[in-house]
């Protein structure tokens, strides 16, 4: 093959190779074009999607911003140094500042009330720890006015996940705070009004009962003189009128005591059959003229003493029988007691007081249990009364966990009834001694005199007349100061102490007499016209042995004198009585035996009162110690130290008294340590008192 042919073939191959390369390039160019077109389409789609998402985000932001704005939440953003970096419109409206005036300023310095700086500092620390919280403070507006806000604060973070600051949503609660303040003021005003009412009732009770005591007392003395028939009739009228007045005062005070929670439920064994018999006997003379018969229908299965508050039960039944007798001109009144359920030692009794009197309509039944309400206006004119008796019955039964109901028809009489849960005692009715039988004062042989401390001259004559009648020697003090002076010079067997007197009252006189001198162990009996439980508790707390409310009858005073004169000194008379009860060796047993003189019922009453009141005072002492409230610690020690002696905790009484007397001589650390020691010792010895109470209950039962 020639050289020319070779060259021609070479060119031909190169042309084919170039054609193939061009074809490949065209193909690649087409692919690149297609890829470029696809990319353009993708970019367009991406831009469209981004636009849609951006729009959605903007719409969402506007939606939630609108929601927050409508919620009246002022939003503020600050950095970690507390400098404002953003403020929303509502916050600006709340504070009166513009956004430009706020940004760049320290929020705490500009806005927060000085008294809330500590709160803000505490919240800043919480936020730095990555936690959210809700709190309320007072901020200051641009014009200087304070505004209360509730703040919900939370941290926010930068792109690296570090805390960049916090955002706070502020809600104006100024109206709520004003309402709270008004409610607080109203509460204080109501409490003042309530205290004023209690003070008024206490003063009214004292001011009326004091002369009434003299009226009742002198009438008793006058009745024992040689009176003719006409004079005795006049004395009976005076006696009946004074008792009506006393009942009115007692009803009003009973309502007040129940409403204020100052009435005590004292459960103890009692003879229900005898109690009802006594009620019937007390109304027999009253119904003798009308011919109305009073009957008792008593369930024979009740063959033991029952455990409950016999005084409150007696008061309910007395009120119901009094009403029944008042509205019954002929026929009978029946007191019925049925046992309707028994579960071991617990039984449920149904009490009914049925009469054949004038009866009640349905409308009258709806209002008779309301205070000062009677069936109709003519009732009080024809029959008398205040309309408080049934209201008192209802309140007492509510206190005892029961309710009172009535069935009645006009002209056919009424039946008032209620159920009461009681406990059976181990003592049979047949084993019950003659109840209510008073001891003979002629048995009393006094080594010394009785000290009468009374400022009212008429009451002085009443008490003196009784003591002369019973041949009991006495000496008179006209006020507390005279009593202190006499007690420092002479030993007395018994002191009868009026509480409300000029110069020095009965409380201060008692404290002084029992602190030093010849009569530190002499029984002191409180005589007072006040019937409030707080007075009784205070009298017992300072060391008085008993409490007698004015006006009192000769029998009440006589029984009280006998009770304490037969259980004092060397127990010359109480030994005749005898007791085998032994106080715990963990208590000051010799002191307790001398103090109670074998009267375990009385000891149980005071031990029970101790358990009801002192643990609460110790809780207050706990709180005072934890808050280092030394003023409260001193007050509590002064209040409770006499009470420890009543239950034989002499060492504890001594410690509390020493802390009280020498309180200001020690520093705070010593005061707190002493108080903690008293607190711990009480808790250690509380179990002993509880066991002693259970032991006394078994002994009494």
Q: Which of 16-20, 26-30, 435-439, 621-625 has the weakest average pLDDT?
A: 435-439
Residue 351: band (very low, low, confident or very high) from pLDDT cuts 50, 70, 90: very high
Kindly state the DSSP code that residue 662 receives in the 8-state scheme.
T
Q: What are the backbone angles phi and psi of residue 179, rounded to the nearest 5°?
A: -65, -40
Q: Please provide residue 237's backbone torsions phi and psi, each rounded to the nearest 5 degrees.
A: -65, -45
E strand or H helix at 639, and its extent?
helix 630-646
Q: In the prediction, which pLDDT does 581 show?
A: 76
Q: What are the C-alpha distances in Å from 159 to residues 53, 156, 163, 311? A: 21, 10, 10, 79
**590-615: buried (b, 16+ CB within 10 Å) or exposed (e) per residue?**
eebbbbbbbbbebbbbbbbbbeeebe
Cα 160 from Cα 407, distance rounded (Å): 83
Quick one: DSSP state of residue 664? G
pLDDT band at 595 (very low <50, low <70, confident <90, very high): low
Q: What is the per-residue pLDDT for 250?
A: 64
For 547, left (φ over 0), alpha (ψ -120 to 50), or beta? beta
Class of domain 602-700: mainly alpha
- Does position 596 have pLDDT exceeding 70, yes or no? no
Q: CB count, 10 Å around CB of 95?
A: 24
| Rounded percentage of the chain residues whose pLDDT exceeds 90 | 9
* Identical fold, 272-431 and 441-580: no
**pLDDT of 434:** 40
* Residue reference for tokens 């009593």: 483
The pLDDT of residue 659 is 83
Query: Tens digit of pLDDT for each residue in 128-169?
Result: 888 888 888 889 999 989 999 888 888 988 888 888 899 888
- Residue 470 predicted with pLDDT over 60: yes
Q: How far apart are CA 491 and CA 481, in angstroms?
A: 16
Considering the chain, what percentage of its residues have pLDDT values greater than 70?
74
Which residues have C-beta within 8 Å of that of residue 587, sequence separation ≥ 6?
Answer: 647, 648, 649, 688, 692
Nearest to 476 by CA among 499, 505, 450, 502: 450
pLDDT score at 349: 93
379 — pLDDT class (breaks 50, 70, 90): very low
- The pTM (predicted TM-score) of the whole model is 0.40
> For residues 470 and 492, what is the distance between their CA atoms, to the nearest angstrom?
17
Fold classification of 71-172 is: Beta-Lactamase (3.30.450)
pLDDT of residue 509: 92
Q: What is the pLDDT of residues 294-305, one digit of tens each?
A: 888 998 888 888
Distance CA 316, CA 450 (A): 37
Tens digit of pLDDT for each residue in 553-584?
777 788 788 878 864 443 333 333 345 677 88
More confident residue, 262 or 411: 411
Which of 46-60, 486-500, 564-578, 672-686 is predicted least confidently? Answer: 564-578
pLDDT in the model for residue 169: 86
For residue 464, what are its two tokens? 């003196």
- Using the predicted structure, report yes or no on whether residue 28 has a pLDDT greater than 70: no
Q: Does domain 272-431 have CATH number 3.30.360.10?
A: no
- The segment with the largest mean pLDDT, out of 351-360, 554-563, 619-628, is 351-360
Mean pLDDT for all residues in the chain: 78
pLDDT score of 651 more than 90: no
CA 292-295-297 angle, to 5 degrees, is 155
Burial of 567 by CB count in 10 Å (0-12 exposed, 13-18 middle, 19+ buried)?
buried
pLDDT of residue 439: 43
CA atoms in the 13 A half-sphere facing the CB of 7: 3
Once rounded to an integer, what is the mean pLDDT over residues 460-474? 83
Report the pLDDT averaged over residues 233-252.
69
pLDDT (tens digit, 9 = 90+) per residue, 384-407? Answer: 444 566 888 888 888 888 888 889
Q: What is the pLDDT of residues 437-458, one digit of tens each?
A: 444 555 566 777 899 998 877 6
How much is the average pLDDT of 498-502?
Answer: 83
Task: Considering only residues 613 and 63, tell me which one the structure prediction assigns the higher pLDDT.
Answer: 613
Which ranges of 272-309 does DSSP label H, i.e. alpha helix? 272-288
Q: What mean pLDDT comes out for the span 5-23?
A: 70
Can you say how many angstroms the Cα of residue 98 is from the centroid of all Cα atoms in its chain? 53
Residue 12: the pLDDT is: 74
Domain ranges of the chain: 1-68, 71-172, 272-431, 441-580, 602-700
pLDDT at 229 exceeding the cut of 80: no
pLDDT number for residue 571? 38
Residue 72 near residue 172, CB atoms below 8 Å:
yes
Q: What CATH number is given for 441-580 in this structure?
A: 3.40.50.2300
Q: How far is the C-alpha of 506 from the C-alpha of 530, rounded, in Å?
A: 13
Specify the 3-state DSSP secondary structure of 410. Answer: coil
pLDDT over 90 (residue 350): yes
């Amino acid at each position: 093959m020639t050289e020319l042919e070779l060259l021609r073939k070479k060119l031909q191959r190169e042309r084919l190779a170039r054609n193939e390369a061009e074809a490949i390039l065209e193909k690649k160019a087409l692919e690149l074009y297609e890829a470029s077109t696809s990319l353009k389409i993708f970019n367009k789609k991406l831009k469209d999607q981004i636009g849609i998402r951006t729009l959605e985000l903007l719409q969402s932001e506007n939606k939630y911003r609108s929601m927050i704005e409508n919620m009246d939440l002022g939003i503020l953003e600050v950095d970690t140094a507390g400098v404002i970096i953003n403020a929303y419109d509502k916050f600006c409206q709340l504070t009166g500042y513009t956004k430009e005036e706020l940004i760049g300023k320290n929020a705490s310095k500009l806005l927060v009330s000085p008294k809330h700086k500590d709160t803000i500092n505490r919240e800043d620390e919480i936020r730095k720890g990555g936690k959210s919280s809700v709190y309320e403070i007072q901020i200051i507006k641009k014009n200087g006015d304070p505004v209360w806000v509730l703040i919900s604060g939370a941290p926010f973070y930068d792109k690296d996940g570090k805390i960049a600051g916090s955002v706070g949503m502020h809600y104006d609660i100024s109206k709520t705070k004003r309402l709270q303040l008004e409610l607080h003021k109203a509460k204080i005003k109501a409490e003042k009004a309530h205290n004023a009412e209690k003070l008024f009732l206490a003063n009214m009770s004292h001011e009326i009962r004091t002369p009434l005591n003299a009226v009742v007392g002198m009438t008793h003395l006058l009745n024992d003189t040689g009176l003719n028939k006409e004079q005795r009739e006049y004395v009976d009228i005076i006696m009946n009128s004074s008792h009506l007045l006393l009942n009115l005062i007692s009803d009003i005070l009973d309502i007040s005591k129940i409403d204020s929670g100052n009435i005590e439920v004292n459960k103890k064994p009692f003879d229900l059959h005898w109690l009802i018999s006594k009620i019937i006997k007390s109304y027999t003379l009253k119904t003798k003229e009308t011919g109305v018969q009073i009957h008792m229908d008593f369930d024979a299965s009740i063959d033991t003493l029952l455990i409950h508050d016999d005084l409150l039960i007696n008061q309910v039944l007395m009120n119901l029988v009094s009403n029944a007798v008042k509205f019954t001109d002929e026929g009978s009144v029946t007191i019925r007691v049925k046992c309707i359920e028994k579960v071991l030692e617990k039984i449920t009794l149904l009490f009914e007081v049925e009469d054949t009197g004038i009866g009640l309509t349905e409308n009258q039944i709806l209002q008779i249990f309301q205070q000062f309400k009677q069936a109709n206006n003519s009732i009080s004119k024809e029959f008398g009364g205040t309309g408080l008796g049934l209201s008192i019955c209802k309140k007492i039964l509510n206190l005892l966990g029961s309710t009172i109901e009535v069935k009645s028809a006009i002209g056919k009489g009424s039946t008032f009834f209620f159920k009461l849960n009681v406990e059976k005692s181990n003592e049979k009715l047949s084993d019950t001694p003659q109840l209510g039988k008073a001891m003979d004062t002629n048995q009393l042989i006094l080594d010394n005199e009785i000290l009468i401390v009374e400022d009212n001259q008429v009451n002085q004559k009443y008490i003196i007349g009784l003591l002369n009648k019973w041949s009991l020697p006495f000496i008179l003090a006209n006020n507390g100061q005279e009593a202190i002076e006499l007690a420092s010079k002479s030993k007395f067997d018994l002191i009868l102490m009026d509480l409300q007197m000029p110069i020095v009252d009965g409380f201060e006189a008692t404290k002084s007499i029992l602190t030093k001198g010849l009569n530190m162990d002499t029984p002191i009996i409180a005589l007072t016209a006040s019937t409030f439980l707080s007075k009784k508790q205070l009298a017992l707390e300072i060391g008085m042995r008993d409490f007698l409310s004015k006006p009192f009858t000769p029998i009440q005073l006589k029984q009280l004198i006998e009770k304490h004169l037969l259980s004092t000194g060397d127990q010359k008379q109480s030994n005749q009585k005898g007791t085998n009860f032994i106080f715990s060796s963990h208590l000051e047993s010799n002191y307790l035996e001398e103090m109670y003189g074998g009267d375990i019922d009385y000891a149980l009453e005071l031990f029970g009162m101790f358990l009801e009141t002192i643990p609460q005072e110790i809780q207050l002492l706990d709180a005072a110690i934890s808050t280092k409230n030394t003023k409260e610690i001193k007050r509590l020690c002064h209040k409770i130290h006499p009470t420890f002696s009543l239950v034989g905790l002499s060492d504890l009484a001594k410690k509390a008294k020493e802390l009280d007397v020498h309180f200001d001589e020690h520093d705070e650390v010593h005061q707190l340590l002493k108080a903690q020691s008293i607190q711990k010792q009480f808790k250690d010895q509380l179990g002993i008192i509880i066991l002693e109470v259970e032991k006394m209950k078994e002994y009494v039962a």
